[in-house]
Structure 1
Amino acid sequence: MKKFNLSTVLIMSMVFVLVVSAGALAGQVSIKLGFGSQLDPFDASSAGMMYFKQYVETESNGNIKVDLFPANQLGSNDEMLEQVKRGTIEMATSMGSGQLAAKYYPNFYMFDIPYLFKSTKVAWDVVNPNNEFMKGLLEDMAQKSGVRPLGFYVEGRRHFTNNVRSIHTPADMKGLKIRTMSVPAHMEMVKALGASPTPIAYSELYGAMQTGVVDGQENPINNINYLKAYEVQKYVTLDGHITYMVPLVINEKFYQGLTEDQQRIIREGALESFRINNAVSSIQNMIGLKEVKEHGMKVTILTDEQLQQFRDAARPKVLKFIRKQVEDQDIIDELFAEIEKYEY
């Protein structure tokens, strides 16, 4: 009888352990997070992703596991975005706000209005996901598309480079072939400034500049430096025509299947990763500007009067185009009002 009781207790204990273990495994959440940059803590995008993983796994006591897939292992930026929508992967980043607008949420075209933000600081204040203005937009896109943006990485202001001449006014842009992303608003802007837009993938950009397929391109300074554009380009004009913002997105059905606490941890992790990314981007842009100068690029800093010429040439035509694209005509006026709160 004692042997039977002892055996019974042992068996019941084993069953209990197995049930608890199975319950723990069943409660664990796994996230596949795809992005385009190499896994490098000194790269702004990668630093943000690595911090997100650490924050979420630590704060959830390991109940949420984040697997990082850098360097477009899961496909191109567009392909990863589509996978998030389908639920094949849970999260992704690396596509710009304009690309997101073109595919899923036209209201985000408003962030491609030329010369919209005077600084990346103002841009961050406006798109901070805790900002009530942004909260409404993020929720609206989640409901309409099945893809929820958790916010934006503000990776720097975009500037023109070329290998033909120094650019001081829109007249200097005339006739130049300028590489852009495949964002209609960006192409409209380049046309409005008198140049010819040529959409080319970033991975093919260096070769296109080297062989003369394009005369120039536009990117944040850290990208210009990373690309070693100074080897095939002579001039850079710091006009900051677009502030490059990259959304971090999550599949909405997956997100709604999480507990409130898990959702909170992911939102908080995203916010902290944005801050890390923004800080690293700012440092990279400062260092990058110094390095492109050291490599012989001629840097043009526009006066306020010159910058106004670019704004006057580009904004009316592009704004007219964007107003035709957005779903909510009032949203652009609301954006301008929001910007006024933070400009000083």
Structure 2
Amino acid sequence: MKTAFKATIAAVAMMAVSETSLQAQELRLSHQWSDNDVRHKVAQIVADEVATADVGLEIRIFPTQSLFKAREQYTPLSRGQLDMTVLPLSYAGGLQPAYNLTLMPGLVKNHDHAARLNESPFMEAIEEKMAEDDVMVLVHGYLAGGFAGKETCITSPDDMAGLQTRAAGRAFEQMLAGAGASIASMASSEIYNAMQTGVLDAANTSSSSFVSYRIYEQVSCYTPAGDYALWFMYQPLLINKSTFDGLTEEQQQALLDGAAKAEEFYLEEAKKEDAASREVFAQAGVEIAEMSEEDFNAWRALAQETSYKAFIEDTPGGQELLDLALSVE
């Protein structure tokens, strides 16, 4: 009887071990947006592809800053307290000044140019900086933006003189101030009221923010991202490198396969967001302006004297990094 009892106990123990081994390893992914946002959808594609691969890995997504605040995600990611995040990399520019180049006026012309930057020595140099913090990229992605004017169209630096404007990021504030604008710093969610009350004459933000905050109700002219645009913000899906290295080969491959699918989706959806914003503003009766190559080059020349100059002064090795970015055609 004792032998039979021991055999039963052993069998139960083996079943418990077997069930434990079948439980999927969970990775926690944090981001700041709602589940309708393109960046959440990028994360969901990776999570779904990993689940379909059935490799004992599960990605649990925490949207809307429910796990970490928007600007507080990079440090826990680098420390292994968070496994994955979708994050505007410039949020961590205070920790790694090189990251400020990923929200710099005139470095990216359009989405296809952004895709080439993602495969360039410039991005390799940025990823080397990430590796220093035990972080690696799974999905590359840029989102674009434009300008809106309450009473005037904005396509070139000459159009900014004397305007009170909101800019998306410190480098843009430096450049627009160089064009003669007065800067009012505020969140994109505050643009509508600021225009309504006369605090702002113009604004610069992302295509999606222009639509979601209904800025088309307050402006007469909109310059969307098109063949040329100034505002591009790098917002990748990142993973803690030690976490990735600790996965099995099958789990790593499932992540990489999901990331490849998500990256293709990200690029196409980013283009669609720009086109959708153009359509929304046009339907609202807002004039649509276009930025020409000549306009873009004038902005870049101004950026050289303002934003780029400040970046080089503030960043060790900044000139080399900037040259790498500018060398991508």
Which TM-score band (shorter chain)? Answer: 0.7 to 0.9
Cross-structure match for 1:29: 25
Aligned pair partner of 1:19 in 17, 20, 40: 17
Counterparts of 1:271 and 1:325, CA distance in 2: 35
Are the counterparts in 1 of residues 165 and 200 from structure 2 also a CA contact under 8 Å? Answer: yes
Counterparts of 1:202 and 1:147, CA distance in 2: 28
**1:296-329: CA deviation from partner (whole Å, max 9, x where unpaired):** 2111113433333333333332221122233323
TM-score (norm 1): 0.84
Alignment of 1:49-128 (within 5 A): 49-59=43-53, 61=54, 63-95=56-88, 97-100=89-92, 102-128=93-119
Cross-structure match for 2:259: 270
Counterparts of 2:209 and 2:150, CA distance in 1: 17
- Which segments of 5 or more consecutive residues in structure 1 lack a partner in the other structure? none
Counterparts of 1:335 and 1:309, CA distance in 2: 18
| Matched AA of 1:21 | E
Cross-structure match for 2:236: 247
Shift of 1:241: 1.0
Cross-structure match for 2:269: 280
* 149 and 327 in structure 1: CA distance in 2 versus 1, 3 angstrom threshold: farther
* 87 and 209 in structure 1: CA distance in 2 versus 1, 3 angstrom threshold: farther
Shift of 1:133: 5.1
Counterparts of 1:75 and 1:317, CA distance in 2: 34
Q: Does 1:165 align with 2:156?
A: no
Alignment of 1:175-254 (within 5 A): 175-181=162-168, 183-238=169-224, 240-254=229-243
SS of 2:230's equivalent? strand
Cross-structure match for 1:147: 135
| Matched AA of 1:84 | L
RMSD: 2.5
Shift of 1:4: 5.6
- Which segments of 5 or more consecutive residues in structure 2 lack a partner in the other structure? none
Shift of 1:260: 4.2
Counterparts of 1:162 and 1:333, CA distance in 2: 32
Identity %, equivalent residues: 22
**1:5-54: CA deviation from partner (whole Å, max 9, x where unpaired):** 654443332221112223334xx4212211122112xx321221210110
SS of 2:100's equivalent? helix
Counterparts of 2:321 and 2:107, CA distance in 1: 14
* 134 and 233 in structure 1: CA distance in 2 versus 1, 3 angstrom threshold: same
**Aligned positions, number:** 325
Comparing 110-119 and 270-279, the one that deviates more:
110-119
Shift of 1:275: 1.7
Are the counterparts in 1 of residues 219 and 286 from structure 2 also a CA contact under 8 Å? Answer: yes
Are the counterparts in 1 of residues 188 and 209 from structure 2 also a CA contact under 8 Å? Answer: no
Q: Does 1:45 align with 2:39?
A: yes
Counterparts of 1:35 and 1:230, CA distance in 2: 27
SS of 1:199's equivalent? coil
Are the counterparts in 2 of residues 174 and 194 from structure 1 also a CA contact under 8 Å? Answer: yes
Cross-structure match for 1:300: 289
* 257 and 325 in structure 1: CA distance in 2 versus 1, 3 angstrom threshold: farther
